[in-house]
Structure 1
């Protein structure tokens, strides 16, 4: 298991972590080999993604389930709409990647990046790779312009204009008048996933539900709100064209 964590100099930046399952030639053989917020679980159960906090993402790797052709796993971070909003990694204080034993939680290694981050909007932090039958990790820190799209093209994937819609989980929390801190964090996480999957900006979503700025949406998605009302949830669901249960799903 590995965790990617970051500290921001500009709190308005949206960062996303992703993992690319690569063959010996350094490319993905299928679209499903890109694991990110729009495709959080590989079909064969080998890699699973979860955003555990506004500034931390986690990947669980079942090495025994990886396809035989997968020889590397490239770990990356991208800035959402970086070029459009003049955001770059020069506005990120530090990036950390921690390798952990999934069963015990013991930290195996930590790598840090920060001083060399510049104007790029995507970065390959490092890669897991097979060497003489064993998986090892190599820190890289290679930057790209063009965000997630540029990385997908670099790893041999064709990129659609819009990402596929995020499917709702089967189990949902029953509606109530006011949601607590944990439920509000879950709502924010789901709002972010759905919003990005349909190519909507925070500002566009805010305007659709009557806010004058994107700040309330940004705070919700970053997990900074300690409560959230059901009436607000209904407005968000309508604006995103999903059900309230989808935004409440775990």
Structure 2
């Protein structure tokens, strides 16, 4: 049975699931009825962060044009441009035992592609969530539903996977950015 998290809550991942080595992080969303003339294209991204909360290089920024980190331990499913249908819109697979030692945290984000040019924001998005699945069994372990807390933001850090005392934990973050992907990149050390 999955643990449902609220914003700010943290939960152990590997200690309570001994032997688990592979997870999948699923991100999903729906678009409210919208008549702005442009289709919504939301994207799942991941930033592999060192102990200072920054990426070590551009390969640590995983998105539709860079689908994995340098050693292939974190891999994106790719870009679902419509988000139509039930279930996860995009996923990121992680081999926990192979994540480089200098990656202390992985931040999972959802951004709206070309949000400013299309006059789009998360106020027009509903049912956004992140969930963590045991890749071997398919069991949902953790779920965090974002709710309707965002109105003008164009990017959201939904959750973080992080190391603590030799184990992996997950934190429900729910932190919005008005300046979208550029804001995320700036905070995490990517030059745009």
Q: Which residues in structure 2 correspond to 1:144-183 (within 5 Å)? A: 144-159=177-192
Number of aligned residue pairs: 159
- Tell me what 2:40 maps to: 13
Moved more, 140-149 or 26-35: 140-149
Higher relative contact order (CA 8 A, sep 6+): 2
**Candidates 44, 55, 58, aligned match of 2:91:** 58
Q: Is the 8 A contact 1:49 1:58 kept in 2?
A: yes
Q: Is the 8 A contact 2:48 2:60 kept in 1?
A: yes
- Tell me what 2:160 maps to: 127
Between Structure 1 and Structure 2, the one with more strand by share is: 2
- Tell me what 2:175 maps to: 142
Q: Could you say what secondary structure the match of 2:64 adopts?
A: coil
Aligned mates of 1:131, 1:156 — CA distance in 2: 22
Any stretches of 5+ residues in structure 1 without a counterpart?
A: 160-250
Q: Is the 8 A contact 2:108 2:159 kept in 1?
A: yes
- Tell me what 1:175 maps to: none
Q: Is the 8 A contact 2:64 2:79 kept in 1?
A: no
Mark the CA change 1:95 to 1:27 in structure 2 (over 3 Å): closer, same or farther. same
2:62 counterpart of 1:39: no
Any stretches of 5+ residues in structure 2 without a counterpart?
A: 1-23, 84-88
- Tell me what 2:131 maps to: 98
TM-score (norm 1): 0.61
Q: For residue 52 of structure 1, report the CA deviation from its aligned partner.
A: 7.6
Larger radius of gyration: 1
Moved over 4 A (4+): none
- Tell me what 2:56 maps to: 29
Q: For residue 43 of structure 1, report the CA deviation from its aligned partner.
A: 2.3
- Tell me what 2:4 maps to: none
TM-score (norm 2): 0.79
Q: Is the 8 A contact 1:94 1:114 kept in 2?
A: yes
Q: List per-residue Cα deviations over 1:150-201 (Å, max 9, x = no partner).
A: 2111101112xxxxxxxxxxxxxxxxxxxxxxxxxxxxxxxxxxxxxxxxxx
Q: Which residues in structure 2 correspond to 1:195-214 (within 5 Å)? A: none
Aligned mates of 2:139, 2:78 — CA distance in 1: 20
